[in-house]
Structure 1
């Protein structure tokens, strides 16, 4: 008779997982439980399933709370009642309205109040008053005893034992941002709000059997009707299933003609397409394909580029109708990896759009399919490890020093301090509990009935409704998920194509993939690892791998993108793959089937599809069974006997095919060990397409491409190194200019003007007003002119002066800062001064004084050094060579003397790694780019570094544990390195013996 049970999805209030609550209730013989989380419907499907498995009758409900106070609880009679409760909660959340003290009529529900909010005589037919166990004895002298038909048992469940209640208090303190000793009874559940055995609970009400009978009547009237299965998804696209299949068939067969030229390949594609269509129709996924196609069609009509990836790229139908650009025939991809009759979870397409276009696509989906039927999926951030420990320690009043010590050494501190031990115990108890709800990366669900039949919605900051369920609860419901995702790489392509059209008047077709993948210039760049800025293949490790493999084609790039992933690399298979690539006759295939099916990867299982191939061809399991086995081995959910059945079938099939037991056991061992970290080949193939598109743009339009990367703020490296890449491609780099720059970085010919967005502390609103005024009234002729035409704060004006934005006026910074004090008067009311005479054209870009600094003998003048240090502070990096900013190093290591501060050293100034013999010693200056710490097999730490030499070229270093301990990295800057050059399959790197970070020159402004 617990009609108000809270799980941990009563966020920062409940502490019980649905599993723990139901298990304890079953152990105590509880026959009915009513879920009533606070303003949340997240775990409804899990709660119902667990109750039914435990033989407990589930009831679905919601507790409605406002400003931390419980108003009332709604219990659903049936599916319509659950829809009423979810819709009521959603309407107020989406509209941003507070819940009312008394709800409106909600059909098919019971409303239970925890306290009298109006005269009981005014209660409606479905309104009830809950009586707590501790309040029963008060009824004998209260008028409520005359209205027992309106009274029910109210025994909220928040905890089971004292430890649960201690966690509850901690969560409430975290939620309210206070220490737990300052909590008031109003902030907490009552200490008696616990799960009780049925006999114990009934004993409290023995003097009022009418209340027990009335409560039983309520229970009998409620049934948890929560529909699950594929039928809850949007059933048709055209209005009928036959119409859906007819449309999908037409689109797919037309796509075969468009994608494949006449001949044997066309015939093979046609046969596979027809076979896939039959399975798609049988599995009832026609509408799923058509809705995804509709999303992609809208995006292309709007001019948006997309990438269809994930297991959906295994489908030739997806390829033919334009969802994916991966040809399954070219890569021998299995459709069964995506859809098969044995798959336990619904398949899903992952569609990537540019980060600044995805929201428009999502908005289309909501408007096309209706907000009542559409929602983004949620994700739950949970309490984790050290963060949870800090939160708990804070609300228990520990000072910061003790918290830091406890987090650093939890068990050591807890052993010496009982309070720390108590904090550690509570923290361990909340780890894994949901903390707050946020938006899934891009999952969208579209339902046939209104979505409130399954879950409530909540409005998130972006303005889209988010379902209360996450992807796991959605999967349990049977909902299809449409992953509308975003990435920066597509933004790079879009921006580059736009710049090419504007600067060169050329239109670039990035969908002519056959031409792009076979372009010789693109293949050469790939082979040499010149991929900085290119999506998915620009990291130092990936560029090194491309060089070692001399990768110059699509198939090898797909493999390289997979073997570099942590699981494959750490297992040693990446190293084995490289070795077999260079020495293809140095190994023996485990069995003939490995040579037949895995010759492309030299007998190494690289992909999830490879597991399916080997299981299918070695032991004769069907492809759909092979995929089930792969998923079980990788930790997916399946019935326990399925794995054993498939294992027996594998060994039996291997024996029938003539394989001896020892070979079969070794193949099984390899499959079992590999499945846990295998990667989807179609996923790599999708990203490899985008990598080729990036390489093509970089090969033919390098400046436009790099500016596209800079303006989309995405990539492996900091902005500084993309700016440097543009410099190496021939661009002249200019600091932001008040008359030439835009908010984002701009390219004019080979002149690259950094955008104002990169200036730390600058106001976006100010820059937008600057651009608008410049468009309206022309360029600014002086600082005075600027201040007369725009209202600007003193600190903002100073930032513009210091970054060099007014250098076009021909006045030095010192003069401009002095003039600022004369023309800028923040006390006076600002008013734009009308122009008396027409303004002449602004002066051209002002070049810095390049004469040497005679005070110091340094190649940079004092003005140039001043500019460089301001750039370092305001942009985060100097636009001159950083080697010019270090104090003179030891003799024998010359500094470059470039002819222009925008250029780095002349070629040949530095001895590069590739010019040094293997194992030869080398000392050089290098500018730090990034490093990656990795554990060794002994548990020590080593590191891989990436650097720029004085000529501006990248090179890599290896720092073994002994060297790293003695000479650790000391942050950004210029270092002197000494070490030994080593080569791994032709790729040079420097094994560092010593490194020393060199100090920068003193800033003359402060000396």
Structure 2
């Protein structure tokens, strides 16, 4: 037998192309008994490789091709240490595995210089249980031989042999057809004969088949940013780096069969086992050394009495006892205590903590001990959704902290458990469908415009977020046509399919943190990503290995709530946001009216439309809204709303469903409801019910079919014990049971975790409450949280205007770091001004507080001398922050240079010991400094300067008189386009046509290679700004109108490229000087007014109604608003004899429930859907 011992999987990022699953399928097909994984410098794929190999009956050999420093791992001088040697290390046993992860971890944490490097000292320290191979041409020995230095090669070989011991170091023979290998192989054989070091035949496998060599070359080009035709690019020089058969390998060295035999001997010696499923929780030290469960129990009961009184109902005590018993038996007491401890710490030091997230909010024990903040009994949340004896995977508390203080929490656990016991977690960016087309197109040298055009043909809406290229070809006719008609595009897509899904880069997971009982490097290899130490195994793998993984998430809204409450405490020190009533009618009235800008979870236009129809009046309604407004369950929204407003229409297939589904008006909305149906109707335990629910959500058809039988007929053990009673025994007819099971089956993958929805609905309610009753404080905190996002800031300033709250410009004597309440108004924060750092602002505020306000321009310059530079001073003048001081903006701007020079000169004199300006009295100094007598800037100049240094207009907005125009059909808000495309909500897409109303704030001309002129405009409305591209023809025709400061109504096509900010390509424009000129945008056309006509020119949903005020049209609009999507909407208004092409914001997601409702409302003959 022959075994491959030198192989690179996809985790040798953008170099290895042996995909683990495909590799092991091929190995199994050939009958290979063992295979090694030896990725470059990392062990990312070791566990996945191990599991996949074991599944196929193949022995996994765990290894790594490490980089060895030429000197020590601490030497990092470019001339001497820029290159390192390769060395293949294989784990002989579990001791070897422990040593290999130690080597790899040290290489990253201590030895990283271009590559993660070990050195001889580390190899000596961690050699036990490791078999080493001399590697490829980049190994120390082959490199010395290539340089003609046999003596140095011999010295290195004996050194490695001495380090690893007899029969633990081998000289690799490789032949990929490279001249250097042909030359040095005879010398390697001689070296083996002279030193007694055995030989081993390997192939440096980087891909699976010879035909994959081009794909591998493309991968290298993606890595190095070259094209395949670039002669300076990285290339392997042959097509032989593939997973060869035993016959192919033995034929390379027919005179040395023992070298091939050695591969099998090594494989037999390598036996590493991984332990899965056994938890390795760190121990929690209780105060005073109290036994952990006793301490935990006491804490839980203290919380129980706090929440439910001294004599809680027996069923509450019973629930807690059940949870405590389960937690103890499953070994998670320490888990709860660890989470409780860091949540407690966060609260003690004032770090905002969320009320819960995920299924953990269903635990009463977590609520009692203070981990979560929402009552699971009140909202019928299930503990078993989080933890039950039948669950195999570890439970998972996800904790939200204020986004600007998350790092403090990581610092806390590092300090408590030790830096070597805490690490963050790696995550991989993979080449998705569109991304793989772009990467491969770039590597193949195909023009960007062509690649971009093809990539955009891949569907990219919410329902197809994880679409593959194969699915894209099946679902997109245009993509399929290009693929079949164009040979270059055919090759591009075929190549993209080969690399699709491969990891492209490694980064740090946004939330995951691991805490271990022993040093982490004893369990998993570590790496460094920037300053963060990360586990090289992903979250899922770490859980399988039994390590404690938690999500420390940063949530901006927690910072907003905290900052708003801090401002409220200035005038209402007793206000507690956690004690607000959750049934305040005014809050629900505000939400129902759609006044939800800035309200957590309810900001999007689609969600706003839904809740305006829903008219929520309880937290339960908000929980349902959050759960329903997602792809999939959205189809249930019309039924849910209809049933909510007409309870008499609610029906249940069986009376046992009523107590479960009553809260959601007869609709299955939550995962917990699926579990309760299994329990109530068929007698399942909640643990078993959760397992079946998971199988349904993952579409495991074999499990689903088996459980259907059990759900209906029950399950009886061999001993005759009834384990599951089944529906029939509980009086549910078979036909009814079948229908209920089918409904659960179809909806289970869409059902939402109610525990998570409840926690987020509570947070959403808190933000709505603050906006309703403390709008100034809330909006100030909200705007501070988006200082780095001009579009969102514009949107919230516009919302303040709608709420009749003035946003005052910055003032040096009143402004704080962020936005603050100033009487009935909000004052602009200085941190929003460019060229000012937080440290400088805090110093200015401290000066103000300790020594009084600044009385003049000179006084400010004098007191901040040495702290503020010229650009920062000019920014303060230009934004208007100095307007309350003496002089106008132009006077101060004109004096900047002279006052700084004045102060510099005097400071030097003072340092020289001369009697200078500083020895004069303050009044005398002030008298000797005068601002120049110049007139102020014009209003338009001021606006321009304000815009330049803050991104906003502060002393007025040119578009303010047009604010009502944005409520008209057809006019799209720029902020909506930007937010939607950035957040991927699927409302706007590349190529959509929209009307905008705004002002040109910047213009830049550029001459193309073809000597034509194009313009790049910054176009802004009250809600954001966007770059507008104007091609030469339109530019020439409208040059006089395309000037800065001109207000226009423009029509154009959205250009949304994945790697760029959205743009608009201008097609037509109209100058607007008065709001009355902005009419409703409706388009006359010769299209038939018969929606059922088959002569419609383009795909879309066509409706015919009596008129714009027709109640049926008004209701239809509400239904349509729920189903935001990508299908264009066209409406014929018969009375007005007008054809209306709806704006992109009204495009819909056409589905059967929507069509059924529209046909019922408008009549079958008045609804037509033309498919693409």
Aligning the two structures, in what range does the TM-score lie when normalised by the shorter sequence? Answer: 0.7 to 0.9
What SS does the corresponding residue of 1:440 show, helix, strand or coil? strand
Q: Does 1:471 align with 2:539?
A: yes
What SS does the corresponding residue of 1:551 show, helix, strand or coil? coil
1:677 maps to which of 750, 761, 764:
750
What SS does the corresponding residue of 1:297 show, helix, strand or coil? helix
Deviations 1:107-142 (A, max 9, x none): 322232223164323332516243223258514873
Distance 1:925 1:456, change over 3 A: closer
Any stretches of 5+ residues in structure 1 without a counterpart?
A: 843-860, 887-894, 896-903, 905-909, 914-921, 955-963, 998-1007
1:635 maps to which of 672, 679, 698:
698
Distance 1:386 1:996, change over 3 A: closer
| 2:514 alignment partner in structure 1 | 445
Distance 1:215 1:163, change over 3 A: closer
What SS does the corresponding residue of 1:329 show, helix, strand or coil? coil
What SS does the corresponding residue of 1:104 show, helix, strand or coil? helix
Contact 1:80-1:453 at 8 Å conserved across structures = no
Distance 1:625 1:711, change over 3 A: same
What SS does the corresponding residue of 2:420 show, helix, strand or coil? coil
Any stretches of 5+ residues in structure 2 without a counterpart?
A: 69-81, 142-152, 176-180, 458-478, 714-725, 909-916, 927-935, 999-1020, 1024-1048, 1055-1062, 1067-1071, 1083-1107, 1122-1130, 1132-1138, 1145-1172
Write the distance in 2 (CA, Å) between the matches of 1:77 and 1:864: 78
Contact 1:35-1:62 at 8 Å conserved across structures = yes
| 2:178 alignment partner in structure 1 | none
Deviations 1:685-707 (A, max 9, x none): 11122223223333443212221
Deviations 1:394-439 (A, max 9, x none): 2223343443444456666665664554333222211100011112
What SS does the corresponding residue of 2:510 show, helix, strand or coil? strand
Write the distance in 2 (CA, Å) between the matches of 1:434 and 1:996: 39
Write the distance in 2 (CA, Å) between the matches of 1:202 and 1:605: 63
Q: Does 1:261 align with 2:309?
A: yes
Contact 1:227-1:454 at 8 Å conserved across structures = no
Q: Does 1:800 align with 2:800?
A: no
Contact 1:492-1:709 at 8 Å conserved across structures = yes
Write the distance in 2 (CA, Å) between the matches of 1:869 and 1:293: 52
Write the distance in 2 (CA, Å) between the matches of 1:269 and 1:696: 30
| 2:130 alignment partner in structure 1 | 109
Write the distance in 1 (CA, Å) between the matches of 2:919 and 2:1143: 58
Contact 2:66-2:118 at 8 Å conserved across structures = no
Distance 1:260 1:133, change over 3 A: same
What SS does the corresponding residue of 1:110 show, helix, strand or coil? strand
Q: Does 1:88 align with 2:103?
A: yes
- How far is the alpha carbon of 1:479 from its aligned partner? 3.4
Q: Compute the RMSD of aligned alpha carbons.
A: 4.3
- How far is the alpha carbon of 1:33 from its aligned partner? 1.4
Scaled by the length of structure 2, what TM-score is found?
0.71
2:342 maps to which of 295, 298, 303:
295
Contact 2:173-2:188 at 8 Å conserved across structures = no
Greater Cα shift, 367-376 or 968-977: 968-977
Q: Does 1:508 align with 2:510?
A: no
Distance 1:923 1:289, change over 3 A: closer
Write the distance in 1 (CA, Å) between the matches of 2:390 and 2:884: 69
1:498 maps to which of 566, 575, 584:
566
Write the distance in 2 (CA, Å) between the matches of 1:632 and 1:529: 38
The alignment covers a number of residue pairs equal to: 926
- How far is the alpha carbon of 1:782 from its aligned partner? 5.0
Deviations 1:289-310 (A, max 9, x none): 2221122122122222212221
- How far is the alpha carbon of 1:760 from its aligned partner? 5.1
Deviations 1:487-537 (A, max 9, x none): 111001111122223x3261432232xx42144554554454544323223
| 1:697 alignment partner in structure 2 | 770
| 2:462 alignment partner in structure 1 | none
- How far is the alpha carbon of 1:152 from its aligned partner? 2.9
What SS does the corresponding residue of 1:458 show, helix, strand or coil? strand
Contact 1:935-1:941 at 8 Å conserved across structures = no
1:719 maps to which of 779, 786, 793:
793
Write the distance in 2 (CA, Å) between the matches of 1:478 and 1:156: 34
| 2:497 alignment partner in structure 1 | 428
- How far is the alpha carbon of 1:72 from its aligned partner? 1.0
Write the distance in 1 (CA, Å) between the matches of 2:277 and 2:353: 30
Distance 1:836 1:611, change over 3 A: farther
| 2:707 alignment partner in structure 1 | 646
Contact 1:133-1:201 at 8 Å conserved across structures = no
- How far is the alpha carbon of 1:751 from its aligned partner? 4.2
Q: Does 1:837 align with 2:921?
A: yes
Q: Does 1:757 align with 2:831?
A: yes
Distance 1:839 1:342, change over 3 A: farther
Contact 1:77-1:224 at 8 Å conserved across structures = yes
| 1:385 alignment partner in structure 2 | 433
Scaled by the length of structure 1, what TM-score is found?
0.82
| 1:668 alignment partner in structure 2 | 741
Distance 1:182 1:526, change over 3 A: closer
What SS does the corresponding residue of 2:378 show, helix, strand or coil? helix
Q: How do 1:9-88 and structure 2 match up within 5 A?
A: 9-65=11-67, 71-88=86-103
| 2:667 alignment partner in structure 1 | 604
Distance 1:767 1:350, change over 3 A: same
- How far is the alpha carbon of 1:538 from its aligned partner? 3.6
| 2:373 alignment partner in structure 1 | 325
| 1:563 alignment partner in structure 2 | 628
Contact 2:208-2:242 at 8 Å conserved across structures = yes
Write the distance in 2 (CA, Å) between the matches of 1:361 and 1:703: 30
1:164 maps to which of 202, 212, 225:
212
Write the distance in 2 (CA, Å) between the matches of 1:739 and 1:386: 52
Distance 1:147 1:643, change over 3 A: farther
Q: Does 1:624 align with 2:687?
A: yes
- How far is the alpha carbon of 1:871 from its aligned partner? 3.7
| 1:659 alignment partner in structure 2 | 732
| 1:532 alignment partner in structure 2 | 597
What SS does the corresponding residue of 2:297 show, helix, strand or coil? helix
Q: How do 1:200-215 and structure 2 match up within 5 A?
A: 200-212=248-260, 214-215=262-263
Write the distance in 1 (CA, Å) between the matches of 2:365 and 2:703: 30
Distance 1:985 1:624, change over 3 A: farther
Write the distance in 2 (CA, Å) between the matches of 1:168 and 1:230: 39
Greater Cα shift, 784-793 or 354-363: 784-793
- How far is the alpha carbon of 1:385 from its aligned partner? 2.2
Q: Does 1:133 align with 2:200?
A: no
Higher relative CO (Cα under 8 Å, sequence separation at least 6) belongs to 1
